[in-house]
Structure 1
Amino acid sequence: MTAELLKLGGSIAAILFIAWFARFLRLGGDVRIRSEEQAREIANETCCGFDPVEIAIDKAGIAALLRDAEGRHLLVRRHGVQWAGRLLDRHNDSRLDKNFLTVGTGEKTFGSVTLNLGSQASHWAAGLRNLKI
């Protein structure tokens, strides 16, 4: 009986230690874009040298649209606990529905993203319609 209690106690202690260690390393968790500065860093990581002049972050923080001085648009979205980004061209598929803008790259592995941009949604939809690249 004592041996069984020791095994149980050891198992619980090991589980608690692993949970603490994962939290200490910041593994898992809630991955969201929380600021424009973070969106800039993500943009630079996903598309080297992309310097946004205008940023729209989804209200849930799961994606963002960014535009640089050259008029290029970058779509950034969550991919698991990482971030993925794609430069958009005139072949993208975008659809506006009130405050929601759905953007697709035409790439099956990237898929489409629906962003809740609030009152900015129509501004960004117009920008995507006028892409020249």
Structure 2
Amino acid sequence: MDFGLLLQLGASLLAILVLAGIAWKLGLGGDTRIRDEEHARELADEAESGFSAVDIAIDRAGYAALLRDTDGRVLLLRRHGSHFASRLLTGHASVRLDRHLLVVGTSDKRFGEVTLDLGNKAQYWAASLRRL
């Protein structure tokens, strides 16, 4: 093998390792999930400044959550890549219940529908969302 080709191969490998290290250091990629209620509260406050959740339901997989504040507003969080997107739900939200799964749609078609596995809480949240 030619020395120049080996040098080029080594430099390419080193560049890949450096980029992987930078991505790891910055926390890019990975499996981002809602860890617990406190994490859900932090995400909600980032999305809607001053949103103070008093009732929280987190999807069993940690990909989405529903949060209600003291004013009765409901915020829907869902994972979007390595971040979370949110929408305040209005009376235009669609809600479907399938056993322990709750399917919530917003008036924003770009946000899409979100399916949450809420276990026994699914019926409670479905009933409360229908009253919006």
Same fold, judged at TM 0.5 (above) = yes
Name 1:123's counterpart in structure 2.
124
Give me the TM-score of the superposition, normalised by structure 2: 0.94
How far apart are residue 5 of structure 1 and its match?
A: 1.0
Matches of 1:119 and 1:29, distance apart in 2: 29
Give me the TM-score of the superposition, normalised by structure 1: 0.93
How far apart are residue 80 of structure 1 and its match?
A: 2.1
Letter in structure 2 aligned against 1:46: A
SS of 2:120's partner is helix
Q: How does 1:3-82 map to 2 (within 5 A)?
A: 3-82=4-83
How far apart are residue 13 of structure 1 and its match?
A: 1.2
How far apart are residue 121 of structure 1 and its match?
A: 0.4
Structure 1, residues 30-73: CA drift from partner, whole Å, max 9, x if none?
A: 12111111100110111111100011111111110001122211
Structure 1, residues 83-106: CA drift from partner, whole Å, max 9, x if none?
A: 211111222100000000000012
SS of 2:116's partner is strand
Gaps of 5+ in 2: none
Letter in structure 1 aligned against 2:120: S
Name 1:102's counterpart in structure 2.
103
**CA RMSD, 1 decimal:** 1.0
> What is the number of residues matched between the two proteins?
131
The ranges of structure 1 where at least 4 consecutive aligned residues each deviate by more than 4 angstroms after the TM superposition are none
Matches of 1:82 and 1:124, distance apart in 2: 24
Structure 1, residues 86-132: CA drift from partner, whole Å, max 9, x if none?
A: 1112221000000000000121111110000011100111110122x
Gaps of 5+ in 1: none
Q: Percent of pairs identical after alignment?
A: 57
